Amino acid sequence: MIKTVLKWAGSKARLSAKLREYLPEGDRLVEPFGGSCAVMMNTDYPEYLVADVNLDLINLYQVIQEDAQGFIDSAQALFMTANTPEQYLEFRQVFNHTCADRFRRAVIFLYLNRHCFNGLCRYNRAGFFNVPYGKYKAPYFPEEEIRAFAEKAKRATFICADFHETLRLVRSGDVVYCDPPYLPEKGKDAFTNYHSGEFGKREHLSLAVNVRRIGQSGIPVVISNSIRAAEINLYHGSMWPKLTRHAVLAPVAIAPKPQGKFWRQLRLRKPCFLGIRSESVTRRGAE
């Protein structure tokens, strides 16, 4: 497993080996929900088109792609000199209100990601990053991960776009992998605030219609989500009469409320599903 530059809620890094079994060969992997780029880093396609609606995320990837060494030098210096709650809040304020330079903004974005609580990427409705300080003694600086990313990024194009725009760029020879935010369980909240917008049932329905159209054109589409009925019904049944569903056990780390000074980490195994448009897909390793 190749680790990613960012800590990321919902990362598929630990699922990458299992996921590769269901991703067919192709000329290019298209990801409308790029996130941490765990899938890009753990697959080997000739080309990648990675999109996300989070401009800060895409800007970070583009900056590393353009000048990895300069980025490492600047970010490492910040990591070495700014690990107090006061400094964290100061840089968060700069990031939210005054930082317009895209290189500097990428450096601060990595700093915030590695110093904030649980590596969350969360924005309020005004578009401000609002995750509190994480209180880590020595936040890890991902130099090796940045260098590995920069090497893989030579094959990639990164765009800030929603799934509608991204899926319009799909062409013959592509493989499409979609990992949209999960719908919340009934009576519970789900974390989908990766940017200042929302991704609810309406967006899932629109995505289902779009990927169905692409699948019908003969381009393989793989979708991952939770195994609850709400998600399955959106992407299965009459909408996808020839979709094959595979259940996969995904490890999930959960941090409950603090007890005194300490945070307990629980390790669970939670099922998710991979929905695969099966007409034109051969599972890797199958004859």
Residue 207 has pLDDT above 60, yes or no: yes
Give me the amino acid identity at 124. N
CA distance 91 to 110: 11
| Domain ranges (residues) in the chain | 13-126+141-280
Q: Per-residue confidence at 184, pLDDT binned at 50, 70, 90?
A: low
CA distance 56 to 17: 28
Res 196: pLDDT: 53
- Rounded to two decimals, the pTM is 0.81
Res 255: pLDDT: 39
CA distance 281 to 175: 10
Q: Per-residue confidence at 195, pLDDT binned at 50, 70, 90?
A: low
Q: Per-residue confidence at 208, pLDDT binned at 50, 70, 90?
A: confident
Q: Which of 151-155, 194-198, 269-273 has the lowest mean pLDDT?
A: 269-273
Res 11: pLDDT: 72
Strands (E), the chain: 28-31, 47-52, 156-160, 174-178, 221-226, 243-254, 266-277
How large a percentage of the chain has pLDDT more than 90?
A: 57
Find the mean pLDDT for residues 73-83: 97
Find the mean pLDDT for residues 20-35: 94
Binding residues for S-adenosyl-L-methionine: 8, 12, 52, 179
Binding residues: 8, 12, 52, 179
Pick the CATH number of 13-126+141-280 from 1.10.1060.10, 3.40.50.150, 1.10.4080.10, 3.40.50.300: 3.40.50.150
Edge to edge, what strands does the sheet with 47-52 contain? 156-160, 47-52, 28-31, 174-178, 221-226, 266-277, 243-254
Name the residue among 41, 8, 26, 17 with its Cα closest to residue 176: 26
Handedness of CA 138, 143, 148, 151 (dihedral sign): positive
Res 204: pLDDT: 87
